Structure 1
Amino acid sequence: MILSERHALIIDYLRLAERVEVAELARAVGTSEVTIRRDLEQLAEQGVLRRVRGGAVSLLARRQEPPFVFRELDNAEAKRRIGAAVAGLVRDGEAVVIDGGTTGLEVARALAGRRVTVMPLSLQAAHALAVAGPTRIIQAGGEVRPGELSVSGPLAEAGLRALRFDTAVLTCCGVSVEHGVTAYDPADASVKSVAISLAARTILAADGAKFARTAMAVVAPLERVDVLVTDAAAPPQTLDAVAAMGIEVHRA
Protein backbone atom coordinates (compact mmCIF):
# COMPACT_ATOMS: atom_id res chain seq x y z
CA MET A 1 0.00 0.00 0.00
CA ILE A 2 1.50 3.36 -1.05
CA LEU A 3 1.95 6.29 1.32
CA SER A 4 -1.05 8.32 0.14
CA GLU A 5 -3.35 5.29 0.41
CA ARG A 6 -2.21 4.63 3.99
CA HIS A 7 -2.80 8.26 4.89
CA ALA A 8 -6.28 8.18 3.35
CA LEU A 9 -7.12 5.03 5.32
CA ILE A 10 -5.91 6.60 8.57
CA ILE A 11 -8.13 9.63 7.94
CA ASP A 12 -11.10 7.34 7.28
CA TYR A 13 -10.49 5.66 10.65
CA LEU A 14 -10.27 9.05 12.37
CA ARG A 15 -13.54 10.25 10.86
CA LEU A 16 -15.29 7.16 12.27
CA ALA A 17 -13.65 6.82 15.67
CA GLU A 18 -11.96 10.23 16.29
CA ARG A 19 -9.10 8.33 17.97
CA VAL A 20 -6.95 5.58 16.47
CA GLU A 21 -4.35 3.26 17.96
CA VAL A 22 -1.01 2.51 16.31
CA ALA A 23 -1.36 -1.25 16.77
CA GLU A 24 -4.89 -1.27 15.32
CA LEU A 25 -3.81 0.71 12.24
CA ALA A 26 -0.76 -1.49 11.68
CA ARG A 27 -2.99 -4.59 11.61
CA ALA A 28 -5.54 -2.94 9.30
CA VAL A 29 -2.94 -1.65 6.84
CA GLY A 30 -0.65 -4.68 7.02
CA THR A 31 2.49 -2.74 7.84
CA SER A 32 4.75 -2.17 10.84
CA GLU A 33 3.97 0.01 13.82
CA VAL A 34 7.14 1.98 13.04
CA THR A 35 5.70 2.89 9.62
CA ILE A 36 2.34 3.87 11.13
CA ARG A 37 4.02 6.10 13.71
CA ARG A 38 5.89 7.84 10.89
CA ASP A 39 2.60 8.29 8.99
CA LEU A 40 0.94 9.79 12.06
CA GLU A 41 3.79 12.24 12.53
CA GLN A 42 3.44 13.38 8.91
CA LEU A 43 -0.31 13.82 9.25
CA ALA A 44 0.20 15.73 12.50
CA GLU A 45 2.48 18.15 10.64
CA GLN A 46 -0.37 18.73 8.16
CA GLY A 47 -2.81 19.55 10.97
CA VAL A 48 -4.99 16.51 10.38
CA LEU A 49 -4.45 14.92 13.81
CA ARG A 50 -2.77 15.27 17.19
CA ARG A 51 -0.43 12.58 18.43
CA VAL A 52 -1.26 11.00 21.78
CA ARG A 53 0.33 8.10 23.63
CA GLY A 54 -0.19 4.94 21.57
CA GLY A 55 -2.09 6.62 18.72
CA ALA A 56 -3.68 9.85 17.51
CA VAL A 57 -6.78 12.02 17.90
CA SER A 58 -8.53 13.65 14.95
CA LEU A 59 -8.36 17.42 14.48
CA LEU A 60 -10.88 17.31 11.62
CA ALA A 61 -14.28 18.66 12.54
CA ARG A 62 -17.15 16.28 11.92
CA ARG A 63 -18.27 18.20 8.83
CA GLN A 64 -14.79 19.15 7.62
CA GLU A 65 -13.54 17.66 4.39
CA PRO A 66 -10.29 15.67 4.24
CA PRO A 67 -7.25 17.35 2.64
CA PHE A 68 -7.12 17.66 -1.16
CA VAL A 69 -4.32 15.13 -1.62
CA PHE A 70 -6.40 12.42 0.05
CA ARG A 71 -9.68 13.28 -1.67
CA GLU A 72 -7.86 12.97 -4.99
CA LEU A 73 -7.60 9.22 -4.30
CA ASP A 74 -11.33 8.78 -3.66
CA ASN A 75 -13.18 7.53 -6.76
CA ALA A 76 -10.22 8.68 -8.85
CA GLU A 77 -11.17 6.72 -11.98
CA ALA A 78 -14.80 7.88 -11.78
CA LYS A 79 -13.63 11.50 -11.47
CA ARG A 80 -11.43 11.10 -14.55
CA ARG A 81 -14.41 9.78 -16.53
CA ILE A 82 -16.61 12.61 -15.27
CA GLY A 83 -13.96 15.16 -16.20
CA ALA A 84 -13.74 13.78 -19.73
CA ALA A 85 -17.53 13.71 -20.07
CA VAL A 86 -17.86 17.33 -18.93
CA ALA A 87 -15.14 18.41 -21.36
CA GLY A 88 -17.07 16.65 -24.11
CA LEU A 89 -20.06 18.90 -23.41
CA VAL A 90 -17.98 22.07 -23.86
CA ARG A 91 -17.79 23.42 -27.41
CA ASP A 92 -14.68 24.99 -28.92
CA GLY A 93 -14.72 28.76 -28.52
CA GLU A 94 -16.61 28.75 -25.22
CA ALA A 95 -15.72 30.82 -22.18
CA VAL A 96 -15.71 28.50 -19.17
CA VAL A 97 -15.26 28.97 -15.44
CA ILE A 98 -14.04 25.81 -13.67
CA ASP A 99 -14.63 25.32 -9.97
CA GLY A 100 -11.91 24.08 -7.62
CA GLY A 101 -11.77 20.62 -6.06
CA THR A 102 -10.57 17.26 -7.28
CA THR A 103 -13.27 16.77 -9.91
CA GLY A 104 -12.75 20.31 -11.21
CA LEU A 105 -9.09 19.45 -11.63
CA GLU A 106 -10.03 16.46 -13.81
CA VAL A 107 -12.21 18.71 -15.96
CA ALA A 108 -9.28 21.12 -16.39
CA ARG A 109 -6.99 18.25 -17.40
CA ALA A 110 -9.54 17.10 -19.98
CA LEU A 111 -9.92 20.61 -21.43
CA ALA A 112 -6.19 21.35 -21.60
CA GLY A 113 -5.14 22.07 -25.17
CA ARG A 114 -8.69 22.81 -26.35
CA ARG A 115 -9.59 26.06 -28.11
CA VAL A 116 -11.47 27.52 -25.16
CA THR A 117 -11.08 30.41 -22.72
CA VAL A 118 -11.01 29.25 -19.11
CA MET A 119 -11.04 30.96 -15.74
CA PRO A 120 -9.97 28.29 -13.22
CA LEU A 121 -10.89 28.85 -9.58
CA SER A 122 -7.86 26.97 -8.31
CA LEU A 123 -4.12 27.07 -8.89
CA GLN A 124 -4.22 23.29 -9.37
CA ALA A 125 -6.53 23.66 -12.36
CA ALA A 126 -4.57 26.61 -13.76
CA HIS A 127 -1.40 24.53 -13.74
CA ALA A 128 -3.19 21.64 -15.49
CA LEU A 129 -4.44 23.99 -18.21
CA ALA A 130 -1.08 25.66 -18.79
CA VAL A 131 0.08 23.40 -21.61
CA ALA A 132 1.16 24.23 -25.14
CA GLY A 133 -1.83 24.89 -27.32
CA PRO A 134 -4.65 27.32 -27.95
CA THR A 135 -6.21 27.22 -24.46
CA ARG A 136 -6.54 30.75 -23.09
CA ILE A 137 -6.34 31.06 -19.29
CA ILE A 138 -7.66 34.01 -17.30
CA GLN A 139 -6.50 33.64 -13.71
CA ALA A 140 -8.91 34.53 -10.93
CA GLY A 141 -7.62 36.61 -8.02
CA GLY A 142 -8.54 36.24 -4.37
CA GLU A 143 -7.31 34.49 -1.27
CA VAL A 144 -5.68 31.11 -1.85
CA ARG A 145 -6.94 28.41 0.49
CA PRO A 146 -4.01 26.39 1.90
CA GLY A 147 -3.88 22.78 0.72
CA GLU A 148 -6.81 23.23 -1.64
CA LEU A 149 -5.12 26.03 -3.63
CA SER A 150 -8.61 27.24 -4.56
CA VAL A 151 -9.39 30.97 -4.60
CA SER A 152 -12.21 32.76 -2.83
CA GLY A 153 -13.09 36.03 -1.14
CA PRO A 154 -14.03 39.52 -2.40
CA LEU A 155 -11.19 39.78 -4.95
CA ALA A 156 -12.12 36.47 -6.55
CA GLU A 157 -15.79 37.41 -6.69
CA ALA A 158 -15.02 40.87 -8.12
CA GLY A 159 -12.89 39.29 -10.85
CA LEU A 160 -15.70 36.92 -11.75
CA ARG A 161 -18.31 39.69 -11.90
CA ALA A 162 -16.27 41.49 -14.58
CA LEU A 163 -16.89 38.57 -16.95
CA ARG A 164 -19.64 36.45 -18.43
CA PHE A 165 -19.31 32.75 -19.25
CA ASP A 166 -20.93 30.27 -21.58
CA THR A 167 -20.50 27.45 -19.08
CA ALA A 168 -19.80 27.17 -15.36
CA VAL A 169 -18.42 23.82 -14.27
CA LEU A 170 -19.54 23.41 -10.67
CA THR A 171 -18.23 20.87 -8.16
CA CYS A 172 -19.56 20.20 -4.68
CA CYS A 173 -19.07 18.51 -1.33
CA GLY A 174 -22.68 17.30 -1.19
CA VAL A 175 -25.77 17.29 -3.39
CA SER A 176 -29.39 16.32 -2.89
CA VAL A 177 -32.80 17.18 -4.28
CA GLU A 178 -33.87 18.51 -0.88
CA HIS A 179 -30.80 20.52 0.15
CA GLY A 180 -29.35 21.36 -3.25
CA VAL A 181 -25.63 21.86 -3.83
CA THR A 182 -23.56 22.32 -0.67
CA ALA A 183 -19.93 22.93 0.32
CA TYR A 184 -17.97 22.68 3.57
CA ASP A 185 -16.37 26.13 3.39
CA PRO A 186 -18.68 29.21 3.35
CA ALA A 187 -16.22 31.34 1.36
CA ASP A 188 -15.92 28.55 -1.20
CA ALA A 189 -19.72 28.29 -1.39
CA SER A 190 -19.98 32.03 -2.01
CA VAL A 191 -17.54 32.11 -4.94
CA LYS A 192 -19.25 29.05 -6.45
CA SER A 193 -22.61 30.83 -6.25
CA VAL A 194 -21.21 33.92 -7.97
CA ALA A 195 -19.66 31.83 -10.74
CA ILE A 196 -22.88 30.07 -11.68
CA SER A 197 -24.83 33.34 -11.60
CA LEU A 198 -22.61 34.65 -14.42
CA ALA A 199 -22.89 31.65 -16.75
CA ALA A 200 -25.48 30.82 -19.39
CA ARG A 201 -25.24 27.14 -18.44
CA THR A 202 -24.18 25.30 -15.28
CA ILE A 203 -22.78 21.77 -15.39
CA LEU A 204 -22.56 20.04 -12.01
CA ALA A 205 -19.79 17.43 -11.89
CA ALA A 206 -20.38 15.13 -8.91
CA ASP A 207 -19.37 11.52 -8.33
CA GLY A 208 -21.90 9.18 -6.75
CA ALA A 209 -20.48 9.52 -3.23
CA LYS A 210 -21.57 13.18 -3.10
CA PHE A 211 -25.25 12.17 -3.06
CA ALA A 212 -24.80 10.68 0.42
CA ARG A 213 -23.52 13.97 1.91
CA THR A 214 -24.86 17.37 2.87
CA ALA A 215 -22.30 20.00 3.83
CA MET A 216 -22.83 23.12 5.92
CA ALA A 217 -22.79 25.93 3.35
CA VAL A 218 -25.47 26.18 0.66
CA VAL A 219 -24.21 26.96 -2.83
CA ALA A 220 -27.49 26.86 -4.75
CA PRO A 221 -30.73 24.92 -5.06
CA LEU A 222 -30.53 22.06 -7.55
CA GLU A 223 -32.86 23.97 -9.88
CA ARG A 224 -29.92 26.25 -10.74
CA VAL A 225 -28.16 23.33 -12.43
CA ASP A 226 -28.72 22.66 -16.14
CA VAL A 227 -26.66 19.48 -16.57
CA LEU A 228 -25.52 16.85 -14.05
CA VAL A 229 -22.58 14.60 -14.89
CA THR A 230 -22.08 11.73 -12.44
CA ASP A 231 -21.10 8.06 -12.40
CA ALA A 232 -22.74 4.66 -11.98
CA ALA A 233 -22.54 4.90 -8.17
CA ALA A 234 -25.15 7.66 -8.06
CA PRO A 235 -28.49 6.44 -6.61
CA PRO A 236 -30.94 5.75 -9.49
CA GLN A 237 -34.00 7.07 -7.64
CA THR A 238 -32.24 10.37 -6.98
CA LEU A 239 -31.19 10.65 -10.61
CA ASP A 240 -34.78 10.03 -11.68
CA ALA A 241 -35.89 12.86 -9.40
CA VAL A 242 -33.17 15.11 -10.82
CA ALA A 243 -34.24 14.32 -14.39
CA ALA A 244 -37.86 15.04 -13.44
CA MET A 245 -36.74 18.58 -12.51
CA GLY A 246 -35.73 19.12 -16.14
CA ILE A 247 -32.01 18.67 -15.50
CA GLU A 248 -30.06 16.81 -18.17
CA VAL A 249 -28.34 13.80 -16.57
CA HIS A 250 -25.21 12.04 -17.88
CA ARG A 251 -23.55 8.98 -16.36
CA ALA A 252 -19.84 8.79 -17.18
Structure 2
Amino acid sequence: MNVMERHKFVVGLLMQQNRATVAELAQATGASEMTIRRDLEVLESRGALRRVRGGAVSSLPGGVEPPYAIRAMSGAQAKERLARAVVELLTDGETVALDTGTTAVAVAKAMSDRQFTVAPLSLHAAFALSAHPGIQLVMPGGQVRPEELSFYGHAPVQTFKDLCFDTFILGCCGVDPVQGATAYNLEDVQVKRAAVASAQRVILVATADKIGRAALGRICTMEEIALVVTDAPADSPAVEALRDRGVEVVHPADD
Protein backbone atom coordinates (compact mmCIF):
# COMPACT_ATOMS: atom_id res chain seq x y z
CA MET A 1 0.00 0.00 0.00
CA ASN A 2 1.11 3.57 -0.61
CA VAL A 3 0.72 6.28 2.02
CA MET A 4 -2.78 7.34 0.95
CA GLU A 5 -3.99 3.75 0.80
CA ARG A 6 -2.62 3.04 4.28
CA HIS A 7 -4.27 6.14 5.70
CA LYS A 8 -7.60 5.17 4.18
CA PHE A 9 -7.24 1.64 5.51
CA VAL A 10 -6.41 2.79 9.04
CA VAL A 11 -9.29 5.27 9.18
CA GLY A 12 -11.73 2.75 7.74
CA LEU A 13 -10.66 0.06 10.20
CA LEU A 14 -11.02 2.36 13.20
CA MET A 15 -14.47 3.44 12.02
CA GLN A 16 -15.44 -0.26 12.02
CA GLN A 17 -13.82 -1.58 15.21
CA ASN A 18 -12.81 1.58 17.13
CA ARG A 19 -9.33 0.34 18.15
CA ALA A 20 -6.26 -1.19 16.46
CA THR A 21 -2.69 -1.98 17.52
CA VAL A 22 0.45 -0.94 15.66
CA ALA A 23 1.35 -4.60 15.14
CA GLU A 24 -2.10 -5.37 13.73
CA LEU A 25 -1.93 -2.44 11.30
CA ALA A 26 1.61 -3.31 10.23
CA GLN A 27 0.61 -6.89 9.46
CA ALA A 28 -2.53 -5.83 7.57
CA THR A 29 -0.79 -3.20 5.43
CA GLY A 30 2.62 -4.80 4.96
CA ALA A 31 4.33 -1.70 6.35
CA SER A 32 6.87 -1.57 9.17
CA GLU A 33 5.75 -0.67 12.67
CA MET A 34 7.86 2.50 12.46
CA THR A 35 5.98 3.52 9.29
CA ILE A 36 2.63 2.81 10.97
CA ARG A 37 3.60 4.98 13.95
CA ARG A 38 4.39 7.85 11.56
CA ASP A 39 1.03 7.29 9.84
CA LEU A 40 -0.78 7.43 13.16
CA GLU A 41 1.00 10.66 14.08
CA VAL A 42 -0.12 12.28 10.82
CA LEU A 43 -3.69 11.03 11.14
CA GLU A 44 -3.90 12.21 14.75
CA SER A 45 -2.83 15.71 13.64
CA ARG A 46 -5.80 15.67 11.22
CA GLY A 47 -8.25 14.66 13.94
CA ALA A 48 -8.83 11.23 12.38
CA LEU A 49 -7.81 9.23 15.45
CA ARG A 50 -6.22 9.35 18.90
CA ARG A 51 -2.96 7.57 19.57
CA VAL A 52 -2.77 5.34 22.64
CA ARG A 53 -0.06 3.05 23.98
CA GLY A 54 0.60 0.39 21.35
CA GLY A 55 -1.88 1.64 18.78
CA ALA A 56 -4.77 4.02 18.15
CA VAL A 57 -8.48 4.46 18.82
CA SER A 58 -11.17 6.34 16.97
CA SER A 59 -11.43 9.96 18.04
CA LEU A 60 -15.14 10.14 17.22
CA PRO A 61 -17.76 9.81 19.99
CA GLY A 62 -20.88 7.84 19.24
CA GLY A 63 -23.76 9.66 17.59
CA VAL A 64 -21.50 12.20 15.89
CA GLU A 65 -21.02 12.50 12.14
CA PRO A 66 -17.36 11.92 11.16
CA PRO A 67 -15.70 14.97 9.55
CA TYR A 68 -15.91 15.18 5.76
CA ALA A 69 -12.17 14.68 5.29
CA ILE A 70 -12.26 11.43 7.25
CA ARG A 71 -15.30 10.11 5.38
CA ALA A 72 -13.65 11.00 2.07
CA MET A 73 -10.74 8.71 2.97
CA SER A 74 -12.97 5.70 3.55
CA GLY A 75 -14.54 3.29 1.05
CA ALA A 76 -13.78 5.17 -2.17
CA GLN A 77 -14.14 2.13 -4.43
CA ALA A 78 -17.43 1.09 -2.84
CA LYS A 79 -18.81 4.60 -3.30
CA GLU A 80 -17.74 4.63 -6.96
CA ARG A 81 -19.58 1.34 -7.58
CA LEU A 82 -22.71 2.68 -5.89
CA ALA A 83 -22.44 5.90 -7.88
CA ARG A 84 -22.33 4.06 -11.20
CA ALA A 85 -25.38 2.02 -10.19
CA VAL A 86 -27.31 5.19 -9.30
CA VAL A 87 -26.46 7.00 -12.54
CA GLU A 88 -27.58 3.96 -14.55
CA LEU A 89 -31.06 4.46 -13.06
CA LEU A 90 -31.30 7.97 -14.55
CA THR A 91 -32.42 9.01 -18.03
CA ASP A 92 -30.64 11.74 -19.97
CA GLY A 93 -32.58 14.99 -19.74
CA GLU A 94 -33.77 14.41 -16.17
CA THR A 95 -33.79 17.15 -13.57
CA VAL A 96 -31.92 15.89 -10.52
CA ALA A 97 -31.39 17.16 -6.99
CA LEU A 98 -28.15 15.72 -5.59
CA ASP A 99 -27.51 15.44 -1.87
CA THR A 100 -24.44 16.30 0.20
CA GLY A 101 -21.71 13.92 1.29
CA THR A 102 -18.87 11.88 -0.13
CA THR A 103 -21.10 9.32 -1.85
CA ALA A 104 -22.97 12.15 -3.58
CA VAL A 105 -19.64 13.51 -4.85
CA ALA A 106 -18.93 10.06 -6.32
CA VAL A 107 -22.34 10.23 -8.04
CA ALA A 108 -21.47 13.68 -9.42
CA LYS A 109 -18.23 12.33 -10.88
CA ALA A 110 -20.08 9.36 -12.41
CA MET A 111 -22.31 11.77 -14.37
CA SER A 112 -19.37 12.81 -16.56
CA ASP A 113 -20.72 11.61 -19.92
CA ARG A 114 -24.43 12.17 -19.25
CA GLN A 115 -26.85 15.07 -19.72
CA PHE A 116 -28.81 16.28 -16.71
CA THR A 117 -29.96 19.45 -15.01
CA VAL A 118 -28.61 19.09 -11.47
CA ALA A 119 -29.15 21.06 -8.27
CA PRO A 120 -26.34 19.99 -5.90
CA LEU A 121 -26.82 20.47 -2.17
CA SER A 122 -23.10 21.06 -1.62
CA LEU A 123 -20.19 22.89 -3.21
CA HIS A 124 -18.16 19.66 -3.24
CA ALA A 125 -20.69 18.12 -5.64
CA ALA A 126 -21.00 21.37 -7.59
CA PHE A 127 -17.24 21.48 -8.20
CA ALA A 128 -17.29 17.89 -9.47
CA LEU A 129 -20.26 18.58 -11.75
CA SER A 130 -18.82 21.80 -13.16
CA ALA A 131 -16.26 19.81 -15.18
CA HIS A 132 -18.97 17.92 -17.10
CA PRO A 133 -20.12 19.62 -20.35
CA GLY A 134 -23.48 17.82 -20.38
CA ILE A 135 -24.51 19.07 -16.93
CA GLN A 136 -26.57 22.22 -16.42
CA LEU A 137 -26.10 23.42 -12.85
CA VAL A 138 -28.82 25.00 -10.71
CA MET A 139 -27.35 26.34 -7.47
CA PRO A 140 -29.75 26.46 -4.49
CA GLY A 141 -27.66 29.05 -2.65
CA GLY A 142 -27.79 29.86 1.03
CA GLN A 143 -25.24 29.66 3.83
CA VAL A 144 -22.47 27.08 3.57
CA ARG A 145 -21.29 24.73 6.33
CA PRO A 146 -17.51 24.75 6.77
CA GLU A 147 -15.69 21.65 5.48
CA GLU A 148 -18.93 19.87 4.51
CA LEU A 149 -19.68 22.80 2.14
CA SER A 150 -23.39 21.98 2.22
CA PHE A 151 -26.03 24.66 1.72
CA TYR A 152 -28.36 25.39 4.63
CA GLY A 153 -30.85 27.99 5.79
CA HIS A 154 -33.92 29.59 4.25
CA ALA A 155 -32.56 30.06 0.72
CA PRO A 156 -32.04 26.40 -0.28
CA VAL A 157 -35.26 25.33 1.41
CA GLN A 158 -37.17 27.97 -0.55
CA THR A 159 -35.41 26.96 -3.77
CA PHE A 160 -36.65 23.40 -3.45
CA LYS A 161 -40.15 24.63 -2.62
CA ASP A 162 -40.15 26.64 -5.86
CA LEU A 163 -38.75 23.93 -8.17
CA CYS A 164 -39.85 20.45 -9.25
CA PHE A 165 -37.33 17.67 -9.90
CA ASP A 166 -37.65 14.28 -11.52
CA THR A 167 -35.31 12.62 -9.03
CA PHE A 168 -33.66 13.41 -5.71
CA ILE A 169 -30.56 11.32 -5.01
CA LEU A 170 -30.58 11.17 -1.22
CA GLY A 171 -27.59 10.36 0.92
CA CYS A 172 -27.97 9.87 4.65
CA CYS A 173 -26.20 8.98 7.87
CA GLY A 174 -28.55 6.11 8.59
CA VAL A 175 -31.45 4.22 7.04
CA ASP A 176 -33.75 2.08 9.14
CA PRO A 177 -36.99 0.33 8.11
CA VAL A 178 -38.88 1.93 11.01
CA GLN A 179 -37.11 5.28 11.48
CA GLY A 180 -36.60 5.93 7.76
CA ALA A 181 -33.72 8.01 6.40
CA THR A 182 -31.89 10.07 9.01
CA ALA A 183 -28.97 12.51 9.33
CA TYR A 184 -26.95 14.04 12.16
CA ASN A 185 -27.00 17.72 11.22
CA LEU A 186 -30.45 19.21 11.77
CA GLU A 187 -29.85 22.15 9.41
CA ASP A 188 -29.03 19.70 6.63
CA VAL A 189 -32.15 17.71 7.49
CA GLN A 190 -34.37 20.70 6.70
CA VAL A 191 -32.86 21.10 3.23
CA LYS A 192 -33.04 17.36 2.53
CA ARG A 193 -36.72 17.32 3.51
CA ALA A 194 -37.44 20.14 1.09
CA ALA A 195 -35.59 18.27 -1.67
CA VAL A 196 -37.59 15.10 -0.96
CA ALA A 197 -40.83 17.07 -1.27
CA SER A 198 -39.69 18.63 -4.56
CA ALA A 199 -38.98 15.34 -6.34
CA GLN A 200 -41.24 12.86 -8.11
CA ARG A 201 -38.84 10.05 -7.18
CA VAL A 202 -36.34 9.62 -4.34
CA ILE A 203 -33.39 7.27 -4.76
CA LEU A 204 -31.53 6.65 -1.52
CA VAL A 205 -27.88 5.61 -1.86
CA ALA A 206 -26.08 4.25 1.19
CA THR A 207 -22.95 2.27 1.93
CA ALA A 208 -23.39 -0.91 3.95
CA ASP A 209 -22.45 0.74 7.25
CA LYS A 210 -25.45 3.09 7.01
CA ILE A 211 -28.06 0.33 6.68
CA GLY A 212 -29.86 -0.49 9.92
CA ARG A 213 -28.65 2.68 11.66
CA ALA A 214 -30.51 5.80 12.74
CA ALA A 215 -29.17 9.31 13.36
CA LEU A 216 -30.82 12.17 15.25
CA GLY A 217 -32.83 13.93 12.54
CA ARG A 218 -35.50 12.18 10.48
CA ILE A 219 -35.46 13.16 6.80
CA CYS A 220 -38.31 11.03 5.49
CA THR A 221 -40.08 7.72 5.92
CA MET A 222 -39.28 4.64 3.86
CA GLU A 223 -42.63 5.04 2.11
CA GLU A 224 -41.31 8.24 0.52
CA ILE A 225 -38.32 6.44 -1.01
CA ALA A 226 -38.70 4.74 -4.40
CA LEU A 227 -35.67 2.49 -3.99
CA VAL A 228 -32.45 2.02 -2.04
CA VAL A 229 -29.08 1.47 -3.73
CA THR A 230 -26.62 -0.17 -1.35
CA ASP A 231 -23.70 -2.57 -1.18
CA ALA A 232 -24.97 -4.17 2.03
CA PRO A 233 -25.24 -7.96 1.56
CA ALA A 234 -28.58 -8.95 0.04
CA ASP A 235 -29.12 -11.59 2.73
CA SER A 236 -28.24 -9.34 5.67
CA PRO A 237 -30.98 -8.89 8.31
CA ALA A 238 -31.01 -5.11 7.75
CA VAL A 239 -31.63 -5.45 4.00
CA GLU A 240 -34.24 -8.16 4.55
CA ALA A 241 -36.00 -5.85 7.01
CA LEU A 242 -36.16 -3.14 4.34
CA ARG A 243 -37.62 -5.59 1.83
CA ASP A 244 -40.17 -6.74 4.41
CA ARG A 245 -41.37 -3.12 4.50
CA GLY A 246 -41.88 -3.20 0.71
CA VAL A 247 -38.71 -1.25 -0.12
CA GLU A 248 -37.02 -2.06 -3.44
CA VAL A 249 -33.30 -2.64 -2.87
CA VAL A 250 -30.79 -2.43 -5.73
CA HIS A 251 -27.20 -3.69 -5.53
CA PRO A 252 -24.36 -2.49 -7.76
CA ALA A 253 -23.08 -4.91 -10.38
CA ASP A 254 -19.82 -6.70 -9.67
CA ASP A 255 -16.81 -5.13 -11.39
TM-score (norm 1): 0.82
Q: Deviations over 1:202-228 (max 9, x none)?
A: 111123332142222221111110122
Q: Is the 8 A contact 1:96 1:119 kept in 2?
A: yes
- Cα RMSD, aligned residues only: 3.0
Q: 1:49 to 1:119 in 2, by over 3 A?
A: same
Q: Which deviates the most, 116-125 or 63-72?
A: 63-72
Please say if 1:71 is aligned against 2:92: no
Q: 1:242 to 1:3 in 2, by over 3 A?
A: same
What residue in structure 1 maps to residue 101 of structure 2? 101
Q: CA deviation at 1:104?
A: 1.2
Q: CA deviation at 1:251?
A: 1.9
* Within-5 A mapping of 1:1-252: 1-11=1-11, 12-13=13-14, 16-17=17-18, 26=26, 29-49=29-49, 58-231=58-231, 233-235=233-235, 238-243=238-243, 245-252=245-252
Q: Deviations over 1:173-194 (max 9, x none)?
A: 2112122111222222222111
Q: 1:122 to 1:50 in 2, by over 3 A?
A: same
Q: CA deviation at 1:33?
A: 4.8
Give the unaligned 5+ runs of structure 1: none
Counterparts of 2:181 and 2:166 in 1: how far apart (Å)?
20
Q: 1:29 to 1:92 in 2, by over 3 A?
A: closer
Q: 1:81 to 1:6 in 2, by over 3 A?
A: closer
Counterparts of 1:169 and 1:50 in 2: how far apart (Å)?
34
What one-letter code is carried by the residue in structure 2 that aligns with 1:81? R
Give the unaligned 5+ runs of structure 2: none
Counterparts of 1:155 and 1:181 in 2: how far apart (Å)?
23
Q: 1:110 to 1:48 in 2, by over 3 A?
A: closer
What one-letter code is carried by the residue in structure 2 that aligns with 1:230? T
Identity %: 44
Q: Deviations over 1:54-102 (max 9, x none)?
A: 7666542212233334434544333223212221222222211000112
Counterparts of 2:240 and 2:49 in 1: how far apart (Å)?
40
Q: 1:43 to 1:237 in 2, by over 3 A?
A: closer
